Amino acid sequence: MDSNLRREIIVDNYQNPTNKKAIDDKDFVTASTISDSCIDNITLFVKFKDNIIKDIYFDGEACAITTSATSIMIKKLIGKTIDEAEELMNNYYNMIDEKEYSEEELGELNAYNEIYKQPNRKKCAIFPFETLKKAIEKYKMNN
Amino acid sequence: MNREDFPMLRNDLIYFDNGATTLKPQCVINEITNYYENYSANAHRGDYDISRKVDELYEETRDDVKDFINASRREEIIFTKGTTESMNMIIFGFMKNYLQKDDEVLITKTEHASNVLPWYTLEKEIGIKVKFIPLEDYEVTIDNVKKSINDKTKVISLAWVTNTIGDIRPIKEITKVAHDNNILMVVDGAQSVPHFKTDVLDNDIDFLAFSAHKMLGPTGVGVLYGKKDYLEQMLPLNYGGGMNSFFESDKSLEYKPLPYRLEAGTMNISGILAFRKALSYLKEIGMDKITNYEHELKDYLIKRLREIDNIEVYNENTKSGIVLFNIKNVFSEDTSQYLNHYHVCVRAGNHCAKMVKDELIIKNTCRISLYFYNTKEEIDKFIKIMKGNKDIFKVII
């Protein structure tokens, strides 16, 4: 990806993130992650119905990479089944870990395709996905 | 000053994270190798020459520590792994037996985790109450200390200098108030002992904890100071070799006298001997000279930061070499990544004092913590980089 386009996607999603709002609604499953280095923290509010992700919001304080990745993840995953979401996550993790992956499916998430060059930012790029995994686990346990 | 003595400074690096750990001068690094190359034997085993030499050097280090903080007795100096271990020994080895249910301990919300979590744990274990002295403009005032004390207060436990705000507490006055009320004074000296002269006698403090690695020494070495009467009552947290005089199959035993009773197992000998070099290095420069120079640097840094419109500084008036700042509307970690690009090391986050957010409004900040080898030229370079912060996302993404 062209570096200007990459920057544009990340900065745009950082400065105008999708669905950044705390939700107080029992229909939403909440999951939080606080980073080991005591910096980033985000909470996801996820609404599931019949194994489909109907809606996601998030709240918290985090760096440009974490915040933008959360915003893009939300756009990509609303409307997907849990299986589809897990498949997309696997694909994304493969990209982050420099393994084989399908570029086509990832769309804007391709903006993080060179994050391996900054090893200390890898954790930021997977931060929202690690949090979503917790929310999916919670949903599966109760359904 | 003295930059030529620090091998790390030969790298293209501006190191502004001295609150986390300091760089080491060549003499400290050499002493570690010297031990392993020339007299690599265990201490307190002295049946042969090199072992006796290690014993001598080890105990001379204890004397040097005693003099460095002006303690009255050598057995009041216990070597540990660092401030955290020293604090845990004070709290679980002494306070756990000294305190009773409903006794109160006063701390603040700007303490480091190692002066919070052991107390929280003791609260759960034996039912003491941990209370917070209210802060005024982030600082501890004598008035607020007096107002926080009641009949149940038995301990005040404070950092001399906080690692977050960098405020210096009036420890001598607080200790006076504490002792007038039969309260013990515990001091976390991790951020103070490296930066100004420490006098445990003059301040009359009961316990002091600090780390070697924040004052030019190696990692994994720390000090616990305690008044002899209290250390005599302290139970070891570790039992084993080096701390007993004898033990028999009928279970009879005797522990060694202080300080050995509290130093079970083989200690970090190379680290402790190298710490001695750090102490004499600091002594040679002079602690007062270090303090004054750090003040000068901090004032200069604050003055220059004011030149930049979109920088917020949160602790302009504190007296230590710690400066907290953010670029407006930029997350602290993004700022530290931006500075990292130019090989400037600063810390981002809440600096292991997670309750600071209750006091400071803003949760995450960048922290510069200065030491005597930092220079105005480094600050000038840093300011030049910060003036280019409009391009931060071009640099970090």
Q: What is the pLDDT of residues B61-98, one digit of tens each?
A: 999 999 999 999 999 999 999 999 999 999 999 999 99
Cα B102 to chain center, whole Å?
A: 29
Nearest to B333 among A6, A10, A63 (CB): A63
| Cβ atoms < 10 Å from Cβ of B212 | 32
Contact B119, B107 (CB under 8 A): yes
Per-residue confidence (pLDDT) for residue B235, from 0 to 100 = 97
Q: State the pLDDT at residue A84.
A: 95
> Per the CB < 8 Å rule, is A38 touching B352?
yes
Residues of chain A with pLDDT under 70: 36-38
pLDDT at B33 over 90: yes
- In angstroms, the Cα distances linking B232 to B41, B100, B262 are 29, 19, 10
Closest to A118 in 3D by CA, of B336, B183, B78, B239: B336
- Return the ∠ at Cα B190 (arms to B241 and B41), rounded to 5°: 30
Tell me how close the Cα of B324 comes to any Cα of chain A, in angstroms. Answer: 15
* Residue that has been written with the tokens 């004092």 in this structure: B353
Angle at A107 between CA A103 and CA A109, to 5 degrees: 90
- Measured between beta carbons, the chain B residues lying within 8 angstroms of A64 are 331, 334, 393, 396-397
Structure tokens at A24: 């107080």
Residue B214 is classified by DSSP as: G
Q: What is the pLDDT of residue B73?
A: 97
Is B352 labeled as catalytic in the residue annotation? yes
Strand-pairing partners, residue A61, are A41
Of B341, B352, B349, give the one whose Cα is nearest residue B367.
B349
Average pLDDT along chain A: 92
Mean pLDDT of B192-196: 97
Q: What is the ipTM of this complex?
A: 0.81
Residues 6+ apart with CB under 8 A from B300: B376, B379
Q: Which residue does chain A place closest to B334, by CA atoms?
A: A63
Nearest-CB residue to A39 (from B332, B396, B397)? B332
Distances (CA, A) of B189 to B66, B113, B116, B303: 14, 14, 15, 28
**Closest by CA position to B315, among listed B163, B164, B165:** B165
Residue B214 has pLDDT above 90, yes or no: yes
Residue ranges with strand state E in B50-151: 77-80, 104-107, 129-132
DSSP state of B92: I
pLDDT above 80: residue B363? no
Task: Check if the beta carbon of residue A77 is closer than 8 Å to that of residue A56.
Answer: yes
Query: Mean pLDDT of all residues in chain B?
Result: 94
The CA angle B343-B337-A99, to the nearest 5 degrees, is 110
Please judge whether B394 and A6 are an interchain contact, meaning their C-beta atoms are less than 8 angstroms apart: no
In the numeric block, the tokens 């006796």 are attached to B52
Instruction: Mark yes or no for CB contact B334/A6 under 8 Å.
Output: no
The 10s digit of each residue's pLDDT in B265-299 is 999 999 999 999 999 999 999 999 999 999 999 99
Answer yes or no: are the C-beta atoms of B203 and B171 closer than 8 Å. yes
